[in-house]
C-alpha cells in the first residue's frame, strides 16, 4: 500500500473551527453549450462555508481554460455576496476555472498560530519559529488563495483537467474526474512553483447527504496522492504551504490551494 494511503485518516467533520479553505462553487457542475454558469466564491472549514467577503479581499485574476482557448474573466467578477461570476459556455468539453486572490494580512497570538500550524500539517514552521526564538511572539502572516474548479460541458471530455494554470501552489488531477465513478481511485499532484511537493498534507473533502467526509493524506516524494472515490457528488482537494516572507509586513507567507469537481 502506498504511504499516502496508509496515512489516510477518514473522519466525519462535525463543525467549523477556523475559516481556512477557499473554493469556487458553481450552482451545478454539468452544462450544455450556451448555458450560463454562476459561481460563488466560498470560504470556510470542512467544505461548508460562507460567501467570501469581497469588501476585504480581491480576486487578483481569474481565467477560464478549455481545449480551445483561455479567457480572462477578471473584469467580470462581481463584489457581491455570492453570484460572483457568470459565464456562458460556447464549446463542449471539460472546462477549468482558476483564480488567484490578493495577499491578505492576519496576526495571531502564539497559541492560535500553533493550533493552526498543527491542524494544517505545518509543523515545520513551528520548528523554525523555535529555532528563531519566535515561539512566544505573535505571528504576522500574508496569505494568498489559489482556487481551481472543473466543470463539464456536454458529454465529450478532454485533457483540459491536466493543464497547469501557472499558480504558485496548484493541485493537478491525473485523471479527468468526469470520466470517473464511485469505486474508482483518483490521483493528484501538488506543485509549488512548478515543482512536486513531497510529504505535504492534502485534505480531500466530499459530501454524503448532510455529512462531510475528510481524508487526510500526505503526498509521496513525487508530490502525488491517491484516494478512493467513495461516493458521487461534489469533492474538494486542498493543501497549504508556508514560507518565510520577504515583506516587512509579515514574517510568514502562506499559500492556500483548492480543486473542486463533481463525481457523477
For 11-56, the pLDDT digits (tens) are 333 333 345 789 999 999 999 999 999 999 999 987 888 999 887 7
Q: Give the confidence band of 210 by pLDDT, cuts at 50, 70, 90.
A: confident
What would the 3-class secondary structure string for 39-80 be?
EEEEEEECCEEEECCCCCCCEEEEEEECCCCEEECHHHCCCC
Prediction pTM value: 0.91
Does residue 159 have a pLDDT over 50?
A: yes
Does residue 220 have a pLDDT over 60?
A: yes
Helix (H) or strand (E) holding 111: helix 110-119
Output the nine-digit C-alpha cell for 122. 505545518
Q: Which residues of 94-105 are buried (b: 16+ CB within 10 A; e: fewer)?
A: bbbbbbbbebee
Phi, psi for residue 15 in degrees, rounded to 5: 180, 165
Q: Which residues of 215-239 are buried (b: 16+ CB within 10 A; e: fewer)?
A: bebbbbeebbbbbebbeeebbbbbb
Rounded Cα gap, residues 177 and 264, in angstroms:
9
For 60-111, the pLDDT digits (tens) are 999 999 999 999 999 999 999 999 999 999 999 999 999 999 999 999 999 9
Amino acid at each position: 500500500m502506498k504511504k499516502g494511503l496508509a496515512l489516510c485518516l477518514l473522519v466525519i467533520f462535525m463543525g467549523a473551527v477556523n475559516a481556512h479553505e477557499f473554493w469556487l462553487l458553481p450552482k451545478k457542475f454539468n452544462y450544455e453549450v450556451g448555458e450560463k454558469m454562476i459561481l460563488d466564491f466560498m470560504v470556510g472549514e470542512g467544505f461548508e462555508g460562507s460567501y467570501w467577503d469581497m469588501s476585504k479581499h480581491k480576486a487578483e485574476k481569474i481565467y477560464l481554460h478549455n481545449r480551445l482557448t483561455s479567457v480572462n474573466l477578471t473584469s467580470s467578477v462581481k463584489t457581491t455576496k455570492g453570484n460572483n461570476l457568470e459565464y456562458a459556455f460556447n464549446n463542449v468539453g471539460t472546462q477549468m476555472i482558476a483564480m488567484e486572490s490578493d495577499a491578505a494580512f492576519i496576526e495571531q497570538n502564539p497559541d492560535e498560530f500553533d493550533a493552526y500550524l498543527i491542524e494544517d500539517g505545518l509543523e515545520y514552521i513551528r520548528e523554525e519559529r523555535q529555532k528563531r526564538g519566535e515561539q512566544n511572539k505573535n505571528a504576522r502572516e500574508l496569505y494568498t488563495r489559489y482556487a481551481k474548479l472543473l466543470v463539464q460541458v456536454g458529454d465529450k471530455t478532454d485533457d483540459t483537467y491536466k493543464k497547469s494554470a501557472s499558480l504558485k501552489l496548484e493541485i493537478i488531477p491525473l485523471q479527468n474526474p468526469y470520466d470517473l465513478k464511485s469505486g474508482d481511485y483518483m490521483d493528484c499532484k501538488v506543485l509549488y512553483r512548478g515543482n512536486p511537493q513531497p510529504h505535504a498534507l492534502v485534505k480531500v473533502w466530499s459530501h454524503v447527504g448532510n455529512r462531510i467526509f475528510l481524508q487526510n493524506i500526505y503526498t509521496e516524494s513525487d508530490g502525488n496522492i491517491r484516494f478512493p472515490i467513495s461516493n458521487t457528488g461534489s469533492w474538494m482537494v486542498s493543501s497549504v504551504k508556508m514560507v518565510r516572507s520577504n515583506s516587512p509586513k509579515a514574517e510568514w507567507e502562506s499559500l492556500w490551494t483548492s480543486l473542486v469537481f463533481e463525481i457523477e
